[in-house]
Amino acid sequence: MLTLAFESSAKAASVALVRDGSLISQYSQCSGLTHSRTLLPMAEDLLKNAELTLQDVDLFAVAHGPGSFTGIRIGVSTVKGLAWATDKPCVGVSTLEAMAWHGLAAGGFVCPVMDARRSQVYNALFEIRDGAPVRLTGDRPISLQELAEEVRGLQAPVFLVGDGAELTARFFAAQGVPFTPAPENLRWQSAWGVAMAARGQTPGNADSLLPVYLRLSQAERERQERLAAEGE
């Protein structure tokens, strides 16, 4: 099974080719450029240098959320277009579950975190068992205080990964919560993790692939707050 995976849910963007769980190649970029400018060119170069074409791909995979609303839309739209054009199956996976694969070498508990603003993070907790992350919670937006209390209850350090790792590490340190920060090369979201999280999932087609946001966008929240204030 040859999987072409995409990750664009946060600042870092990446594309990976994975065959039966083995990484063939991965391109990543964290330059701040719009993902709409980087994803497809990276995929094209990746395939070209591997002497492969889109027709050789068996499955397209993408992180469908949570994360940046714009980034998620770009990634999902890209994969929907490729799946439709090639008549190939595709699958969306949790950004947080994909990041949990970065904790394989660390073992124990893995705590992926993405900055959700307002002292909250997008998070799910996992434990590495038999060479794979196993879910302990669902994906959720959660306050740093609530997460700190939950992690303290594990009575073991957690491996912090994700673009919210630095923010969370500062808070955990101040609260005396045990943690191990992921090194820089494992901190950011990756398409390799997306490909690994896609293994064993039931793929669909372009029509069934949808983004998962977990909560309203900031613009929509502000609109609802404004309407609520006007109604008082």
Structural domain total, the chain: 2
| CATH code of the domain containing 77 | 3.30.420.40
- Which pLDDT score is estimated for 230? 53
Residue 126 within any structural domain of the chain: yes
- Which pLDDT score is estimated for 215? 66
Pair 194, 181 in one domain: no
pLDDT digits (tens, 9 = 90+) for 114-139: 999 888 999 999 999 999 999 999 99
Q: What is the mean pLDDT of the chain?
A: 92
What 3 state SS string does the chain have?
Answer: CEEEEEECCCCCEEEEEEECCEEEEEEEECCCCCHHHHHHHHHHHHHHHCCCCHHHCCEEEEEEECCCHHHHHHHHHHHHHHHHHHCCCEEEEEHHHHHHHHHCCCCCEEEEEEEEECCEEEECCEEEECCEEEECCCCEEEEHHHHHHHHHCCCCCEEEECCCHHHHHHHHHHHCCCEEECCHHHHCCCHHHHHHHHCCCCCECHHHCCCCCCCCCHHHHHHHHHHHHHHC
**Total-model pTM:** 0.91
Pair 13, 72 in one domain: yes
Pair 6, 91 in one domain: yes
Pair 178, 197 in one domain: no
Pair 21, 88 in one domain: yes
Pair 90, 200 in one domain: yes
**Which domain range does residue 157 map to?**
97-187
- Which pLDDT score is estimated for 118? 86
